[in-house]
């Protein structure tokens, strides 16, 4: 590609301030491929950056290209012409945590669309070849992009120690919550309860296999059984409390949601009296091959999550739609 070639890129300059402009096409370094980005999913963590100008204790201090759920077509090198899902995490692979099999906890990890590492909301990106996962011809770029949130759901289910025949509840039925339901079903667990304040998301949970779907205000009157594993995927204190209340004594509660303001609280008496084990999700481990197999086999339907597809020039509208929680998954197609 011509060194003078330009591309369109969306950068976050401050809370609510997304701007699309021209920028140079990146030049791959040793061990990298140039990827033409086809699809980028808008994630809840992207919304924290967009709405709050940061996430957790990370604050925006320079314009940032968001987007860590993405896929595209390789333009050069051994994978040229192949459609790939892009693993957004680049762990150091040298530290003790990486060597122990916990690359998601690597203190030196670079992560697309986070901190100083630009993400996928642009037409081209240079990325390490070994973090690219070739896709079969049956999967398009949108499906490839959604392997990332599916990977988060798989990791959360692993942390929950979900066994065959386990009874599960899911609190928060956004994209990750719906994927959690599908992964649990694929693991022969029963999703006996889904909880969400939005009716269209409760309907999506039922479609994904949940036996019942209720609003948060109905939990106190819920007369079904308590569950072996409860997943929280909303990022609010009310959702955490709901997850605790649906869990049986001795259960595991997996917190996958990211709170605003970097703080969560819950009813300590409920958690203590039940002797619950609380586990927090940090992205995912090396689960892309498993995610790909689940989608190829038809055990998980990622396409059913997609409610909106917009071009890069409409990225502001895409984030507004996602922030209103309209539909489920919003995808930007550069």
**Percent of the chain topping pLDDT 70:** 99
Separation of CA 101 from chain center: 21
Mean pLDDT of the chain: 96
pLDDT at residue number 286:
96
- The residue-averaged pLDDT of 260-285 equals 95
Residue 57 has pLDDT above 90, yes or no: no
pLDDT at residue number 3:
56
- The residue-averaged pLDDT of 259-272 equals 93
Neighbours of 129 (CB within 10 A): 16
Separation of CA 260 from chain center: 16
DSSP per-residue string spanning 272-319: HHHT-EEEE--S--S-HHHHHHHHHTTSS-SGGGEEEEEEGGGHHHHH
pLDDT at residue number 2:
60
- The residue-averaged pLDDT of 151-159 equals 98
Q: What pTM did the predictor assign?
A: 0.96
Closest CA to 173 of 218, 152, 203: 203
Question: Domain ranges in the chain?
Answer: 6-146+302-333, 151-280
Query: CATH number of the domain at 151-280, please?
Result: 3.40.50.720
**Tens-digit pLDDT profile for residues 85-122:** 999 999 999 999 999 999 999 999 999 999 999 999 99
Rounded CA-CA distance 183/157 in Å is 7
Q: Residue 38: pLDDT band by 50, 70, 90 thresholds?
A: very high
- Domain 6-146+302-333, classified CATH 3.10.105.10, yes or no: no
pLDDT at residue number 261:
84
Q: Among 2-6, 57-61, 139-143, 185-189, which stretch is predicted with the lowest mean pLDDT?
A: 2-6
DSSP β-bridge partners for residue 8: 22
- The residue-averaged pLDDT of 45-51 equals 95
**Tens-digit pLDDT profile for residues 126-146:** 999 999 999 999 999 999 999
- Give φ, ψ of 94 to 5 degrees: -125, -25
Rounded CA-CA distance 291/86 in Å is 13
- The residue-averaged pLDDT of 172-197 equals 98
Q: Residue 1: pLDDT band by 50, 70, 90 thresholds?
A: low
- The residue-averaged pLDDT of 211-219 equals 97
Neighbours of 57 (CB within 10 A): 6
pLDDT at residue number 77:
81
Rounded CA-CA distance 183/179 in Å is 6
pLDDT at residue number 262:
86
pLDDT at residue number 4:
60
**Percent of the chain topping pLDDT 90:** 95
* 104, 113 Cβ separation under 8 angstroms: no
Q: Is the dihedral of CA 200, 232, 325, 198 positive or negative?
A: positive
pLDDT at residue number 142:
98
């Amino acid at each position: 590609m011509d060194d003078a070639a330009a591309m369109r890129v969306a950068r976050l300059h401050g809370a609510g301030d997304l701007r699309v402009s021209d920028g140079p096409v990146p030049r791959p370094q040793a061990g990298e491929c140039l990827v033409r980005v086809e699809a980028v999913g808008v994630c809840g963590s992207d919304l924290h950056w967009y709405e709050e100008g940061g996430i957790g204790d990370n604050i925006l201090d320079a314009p940032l290209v968001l987007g860590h759920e993405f896929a595209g077509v390789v333009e050069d090198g051994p994978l040229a012409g192949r459609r790939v899902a892009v693993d957004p995490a680049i762990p150091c692979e040298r530290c003790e945590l990486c060597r122990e099999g916990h690359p998601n906890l690597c203190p030196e990890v670079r992560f697309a669309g986070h901190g100083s590492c630009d993400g996928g909301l642009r037409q081209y990106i240079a990325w390490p070849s070994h973090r690219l996962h070739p896709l079969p011809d049956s999967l398009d770029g949108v499906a490839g992009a959604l392997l990332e949130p599916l990977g988060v759901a798989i990791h959360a289910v692993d942390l929950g120690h979900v066994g065959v025949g386990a009874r599960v509840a899911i609190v928060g039925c956004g994209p990750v919550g719906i994927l959690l339901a599908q992964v649990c079903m694929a693991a022969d667990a029963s999703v006996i309860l889904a909880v969400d304040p939005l009716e269209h998301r409760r309907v999506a949970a039922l479609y994904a296999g949940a036996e019942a779907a209720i609003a948060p205000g109905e939990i106190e009157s819920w007369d079904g059984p308590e569950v072996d594993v409860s997943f929280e995927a909303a990022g609010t204190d009310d959702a955490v409390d709901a997850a605790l209340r649906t869990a049986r004594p001795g259960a595991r509660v997996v917190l996958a949601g990211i709170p605003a303001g970097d703080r969560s609280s819950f009813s300590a008496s409920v958690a203590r009296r039940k002797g619950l084990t609380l586990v927090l999700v940090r992205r995912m481990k090396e689960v892309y091959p498993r995610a790909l197999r689940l989608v190829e086999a038809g055990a998980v339907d990622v396409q059913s999550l997609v409610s909106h597809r917009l071009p890069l020039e409409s990225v502001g509208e895409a984030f507004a739609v996602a922030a209103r929680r309209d539909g489920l998954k919003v995808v930007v197609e550069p």
